[in-house]
Structure 1
Amino acid sequence: MSTEDFEKIISPFFWSEHENSASVCLNVGEYKTEIFKARAEEGFEGNGYDWASLANVFLEEKLPHLVGIVKFDPEGSMYCAYSADKAALKQFAIAFKEAVEDKDVVHDLFSRAELD
């Protein structure tokens, strides 16, 4: 898969390469905000921490072999996952984007997300 194809597949998430690692991030607030509105009364806002909570449930349930390899470093305005294993992070990024695009899957996963 070309870099261009990969970047199209994961968009609006974006990929950044670093010397010994890579990260996949999202500027929050515009993409899939309806996911978080479903639990707004509990305090979910759709910020970077909320995205990381969702991604953590996804990782633990759907890609448990990547737990500890893919890590999260969210901020209020940005969700970010990173890893020294770039191939593992790419696998996670593609699978997570597919899950987020599937309304039933993402709402099921989000039902178990914990407020950070």
Structure 2
Amino acid sequence: MNFKETIKPFFWNEYSNSFSLCLNVGEYKNELFQKRSDEGFEGNGYDWASLARVFLMEKKPLLEETIKFDPEGSMFCAYSSKKEALKEFAISFKSACENDTLIHDLFLKAELD
């Protein structure tokens, strides 16, 4: 398995003491966010972070203390000092995003940031 290929369009960054998973927003899964645009969701980095928080709470609660978010308008970013924990999040979150039923269910629980 090629990790970087598996998580596309998310991308991985490594720094001296931390790791990040990022996504340039606006194309991937845009239709998901459009379903709640009347509530103010735009599909920006903050909306992705809200979705990722719900995913962590429901599907990976043991990682909640380890994974942090630093979104911007045009970019989603999750980061951690624990490489393997963030890799586990990256693979499982991407997999969830590819499961339309699951990701729609999780998104219904997301709140505007």
Give TM class, smaller chain: over 0.9
Q: Does 1:39 align with 2:36?
A: yes
Aligned partner of 1:87 among 61, 84, 88: 84
In the TM superposition, residue 57 of structure 1 has moved relative to its aligned partner by: 0.1
Matches within 5 A, 1:20-99: 20-99=17-96
Pick from 8, 18, 23 the counterpart of residue 5 of structure 2. 8
List alignment gaps of at least 5 residues for structure 2: none
When the two structures are superposed, what TM-score results if normalisation uses the length of structure 1?
Answer: 0.96
Could you tell me which residue of structure 1 aligns to residue 15 of structure 2? 18
Q: 5+ unaligned residues in a row in structure 1: which ranges?
A: none
Amino acid paired to 1:48: G
**2:4, 2:110 → 1: CA distance?**
26
Q: Tell me the distance in 2 between the aligned counterparts of 1:34 and 1:19.
A: 36
- Distance between the aligned counterparts of 1:22 and 1:66, measured in 2? 14
% same residue? 65
Q: 2:104 aligns with which of 104, 107, 110?
A: 107
Question: Does the residue aligned with 1:31 lie in a helix, a strand or coil?
Answer: coil
TM-score normalised per structure 2? 0.99
Structure 1 runs of 4+ off > 6 angstroms? none
